[in-house]
Structure formats: C-alpha cells, structure tokens
C-alpha cells in the first residue's frame, strides 16, 4: 500500500494555509467594521459642525476667508487642514470659507450628504449641506474620503503587521504542538518497528484515546494470528508424526521387495518407489523441523559454538547423498578454527543449518562437482557450481515450498526456509547470490553466513 502524507505534515499544511486565509478574511471584516464606525463618527461630526456654523454670528455683508494662523512646526501635532473644509453662503453668495471650502460647489436649498468622486480616488470628498430658509444661509462641511480609507488601511496594516511578526512564533508553536501530539504515534511506530517479527504478544503502551481502537484491533488480530498459527503448527506436527510410521514401514517393505528375484524393469520401479519414499520422508523431517522452530524466539540451548564440530557433523550427515551424486565437499579455514565466526548458540540447530545448505549445494550441482565450505573469522561461505538461480527468484528462495521452475533435482522447498529461521534465532544473516564467470554468465551459487 502506498503511504500517504504524514498526519503531522498535513496538519502543518492545513494550519499553515488556513491561518493566513483566516487572517485575511478577518482583516477584511475588520476593515469593513472599522470603515462603518469611522463613517458614522465622521458623518456625526460633520453634521454637528454644520449646525454650529449655521448658528455662529457672521457679518453677512463681508467676504471673509480665514486662514490658519502660523503655528510652530513642533507644536502643530498632526494637523492637516487639507483633509477637511467648510463654506457658508448667504443668498447664494459665498461669505465665509477656508482654503479647502472655497472649492466646495454650491447647491441651492440642498440638505444632506453627497459624495464627490469614488472612495478609492485620492480627491474624493464627502460633503454635508445644511440650509436655513429663514436666515437664507447655506452651510457645507467637507471631509476627504481618501483620508477615511487611509485611516482604515493603517488600522488593518497595524493588525496584519503584528500578525505577520507573530506568524513565525505561532507556526513554531503549532509545529511543536503537532509534534508533541503525534509523539505517541511515533513511539508506537518505533515499538512496532523494533518488535520481533515472530512475536504475537499484545501491544501495550500509553496512547491517545483516538488511537486506542487501533491498538485494540491490532491486539485482536495478533491473537487470532496466534491461534491460527498454533492450529497450523499442531496440524503440521501431528501430520508429520502420523506419516513417519507408515513411511518407515513402506521403506522396509520396499527394501525387502528389492531383495527378491525381480527383472530389470521391476527393479527400476522398486528404485523409483524407494526414491519417492525417501523424498517424502525428507519432506516430513523438514516439516517436523519447521514445526519445532516456528514457536521459538530464542535458541533453546546456548553454548559457545564450535564450527569445526558443526561442519564435520553436517558433512558426515550428507556423506551418503554426496557419494550418490559423486560429489565431494571441501572444507577450508581462513583463520584459526577457534576464531571462526564467534557465536553462542544451539549446536543441533546450527548443524541443521549447515546440513541444509550443503544438501542444497549438492542437490543442485552437476554430478562430480566440488562443493566448497570456507570458514573465516567473520563469515562462512558455501559455494557450488551449476546454473545458479534467476535473479527474479533470488528473493523468493526463503519462501516455504517455493522451488524455481525448471529444476531437475527433487526437493521440498523448505530447506532455505529452515536455514533462515535458524539464522534469525542466532542473529545471523544469510546472503544468497549467483557466481558469474568472465562472460557474466551464471556459473554457480554462493551462500554467505555472517553476523548481523
């Protein structure tokens, strides 16, 4: 199954995208709310100023345009007289206005607000007119719409500026929180990664409530796997034991039959039957060995390994088959015998391991071949001539009952599976590879046994 993006990464991406978008949306909403409040306050001030101007005593026969008296720069504060203005008309004639108010257009008998230009334009104005028909006075107060917009933008930018400055800290806090929140998952993954592949004991540990159903389901699955494996092992062991007795009886009867007066054709048939019985007996022995190995997580007995004795016993156990194939097994030492692959383990299981490797080497080598076993300080190598194995089948050789197509020699397909199981119990690694000649053609097979 192809892995998807990590939960922590997705959370960081989602939050990293969502927060800026949320801030932008919030900024727009805040800008709209601030703009409404500024417009409301400014319109109220403009209305109050117009009413006061309407009731201030003014010489109706003069044309007075006041200007701001000179104020020292250090004392002017933030005065900007160009952002607002006023004008007063009497009987349609401008009698009083400041510098900005002189540009306000006269509207006869008009009362209320009017916009001059659009709010995004720099020279847009909002003007409030007030008319007194008794005094025949018309008052207008103007305020720059662009200044209102600038006020809103300054407030929004101040808010966004603080948010942008705080963004790295916030992202770090989010990343820290996500990592801390997913730490139990990482711990669980590490526990499962370091777990013995053959272990079916329940998974324990402190996990978040959201992960507990997964742990419960995994433990339930492990329990069912253990029950299934136990039934399988029990069936394999029982079947193998039940088969050994009739096979032994058949072998005895076949040997007795071979001693009688039979013609050549009948003798050949008897030999074929004997070969089939031997093959089936070998398969049963391999199944029994596997049924004993599968429940183990550590070697049942451990002692300092003497590879000289182990290889001698293994060579002796395949001696008969070696003579049948007209082969010979050659043992070589590249270091002192006591220094060969120092290890503590089970003598019997390691003998089975070497015996199976030698059995395979003999079985799949041409007749009259030499099988070499080399013992060094850090590895043991077994080589044999032959056609080797197709590269696509190398990784499958350890599978139970797997035999590459086109094999002429008989076999159970369990030998390397047993070798791998024994090696795993002892912390050993088995490397399988082809031997190639100078023409890059397969000319043999090599097995290397070394400590992981």
> What is the per-residue pLDDT across 190-233, written as a single tens digit (0 to 9) for each?
877 777 766 777 777 667 777 788 888 888 888 888 787 777 76
What is the tally of helices (H) and strands (E) in the chain? 9, 12
Residue 375 is predicted with a pLDDT of 93
Comparing 122-126, 172-176, 218-222, 239-243, the range with the smallest average pLDDT is 239-243
Comparing 3-7, 118-122, 186-190, 222-226, the range with the smallest average pLDDT is 3-7
- For residue 129, what are the β-bridge partners? 112, 140
User: For the chain, what percentages of helix, strand and coil (3-state, to nearest 5) are there?
Assistant: 50, 15, 30
CATH of segment(s) 303-451: 3.30.565.10
Comparing 1-15, 208-222, 426-440, the range with the smallest average pLDDT is 1-15
To which residue do tokens 């299981």 refer?
349
Check if the beta carbon of residue 94 is closer than 8 Å to that of residue 63. yes
Burial class (CB in 10 A: 0-12, 13-18, 19+), 37: exposed
Name the more confident of 176 and 245: 176
To which residue do tokens 């029990």 refer?
234
Check if the beta carbon of residue 63 is closer than 8 Å to that of residue 110. no
Report the C-alpha gap between 222 and 389 in whole angstroms. 35
Which uninterrupted H or E stretch holds 434? strand 428-436
Check if the beta carbon of residue 245 is closer than 8 Å to that of residue 292. no
Domain limits, the chain = 1-63+82-193, 195-297, 303-451
In this structure, what token pair is assigned to residue 226?
A: 């253990």
Residue 6 is predicted with a pLDDT of 67
| For range 79-94, the mean pLDDT | 80
Q: Tell whether the model's pLDDT for residue 326 goes beyond 50.
A: yes
The candidate with the shortest Cα–Cα distance to 358, out of 397, 393, 312, is 312
CATH 1.10.260 fits 195-297, yes or no: no
Quick one: DSSP state of residue 100?
Answer: T
Q: Tell whether the model's pLDDT for residue 374 goes beyond 90.
A: yes
Check if the beta carbon of residue 134 is closer than 8 Å to that of residue 143. no
Report the C-alpha gap between 432 and 374 in whole angstroms. 15
Band of pLDDT at residue 371, cut at 50, 70 and 90? very high
Q: Tell whether the model's pLDDT for residue 239 goes beyond 80.
A: no
Residue 1 is predicted with a pLDDT of 45
Q: Tell whether the model's pLDDT for residue 373 goes beyond 90.
A: yes
Residue 66 is predicted with a pLDDT of 58
């Amino acid at each position: 199954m192809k892995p998807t993006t990590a939960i922590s990464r997705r959370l960081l991406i989602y939050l990293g995208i969502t927060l800026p978008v949320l801030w932008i949306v919030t900024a727009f909403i805040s800008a709209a709310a601030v703009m409404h409040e500024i417009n409301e306050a400014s319109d109220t001030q403009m209305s109050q100023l117009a009413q006061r101007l309407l009731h201030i005593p003014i010489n109706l026969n003069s044309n007075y345009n006041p200007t701001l008296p000179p104020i020292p720069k250090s004392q002017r504060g933030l005065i900007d007289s160009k952002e607002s203005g006023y004008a007063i008309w009497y009987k349609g004639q401008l009698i009083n206005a400041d510098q900005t108010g002189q540009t306000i257009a006269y509207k006869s008998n008009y009362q209320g607000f009017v916009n001059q230009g659009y709010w995004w334009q720099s020279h847009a104005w909002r003007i409030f007119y007030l008319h007194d028909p008794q005094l025949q006075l018309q008052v207008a107060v103007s305020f720059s719409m662009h200044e209102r917009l600038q006020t809103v933008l300054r407030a929004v930018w101040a808010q966004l500026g603080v948010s942008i400055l705080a963004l790295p800290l916030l992202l770090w806090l989010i990343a820290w929180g996500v990592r801390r929140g997913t730490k139990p998952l990482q711990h669980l993954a590490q526990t499962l990664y370091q777990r013995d592949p053959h272990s079916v004991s329940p998974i324990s540990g402190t996990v978040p409530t959201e992960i507990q159903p997964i742990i419960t389901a995994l433990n339930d699955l492990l329990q069912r796997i253990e029950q299934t494996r136990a039934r399988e092992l029990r069936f394999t062991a029982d079947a193998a034991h039940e088969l050994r007795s009739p096979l032994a009886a058949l072998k005895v009867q076949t040997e007795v039959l071979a001693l009688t007066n039979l013609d050549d054709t009948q003798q050949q048939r008897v030999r074929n039957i004997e070969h089939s019985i031997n093959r089936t007996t070998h398969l049963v022995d391999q199944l029994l060995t596997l049924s004993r190995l599968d429940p183990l997580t550590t070697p049942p007995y451990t002692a300092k390994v003497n590879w000289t004795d182990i290889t001698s016993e293994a060579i002796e156990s395949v001696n008969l088959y070696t003579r049948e194939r007209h082969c010979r097994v050659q043992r070589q030492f590249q270091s002192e015998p006591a220094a060969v692959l120092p290890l503590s383990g089970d003598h019997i299981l390691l003998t089975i391991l070497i015996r199976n490797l030698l059995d395979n080497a003999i079985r799949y080598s041409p007749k009259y071949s030499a099988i070499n076993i080399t013992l060094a300080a850090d590895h043991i190598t077994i080589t044999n001539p032959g056609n080797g194995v197709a590269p696509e089948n190398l990784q499958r050789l350890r599978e139970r009952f797997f035999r590459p197509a086109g094999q002429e020699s008989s076999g159970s397909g369990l030998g390397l599976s047993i070798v791998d199981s024994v090696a795993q119990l002892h912390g050993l690694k088995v490397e399988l590879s082809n031997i190639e000649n100078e023409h890059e053609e397969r000319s043999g097979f090599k097995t290397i046994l070394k400590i992981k």
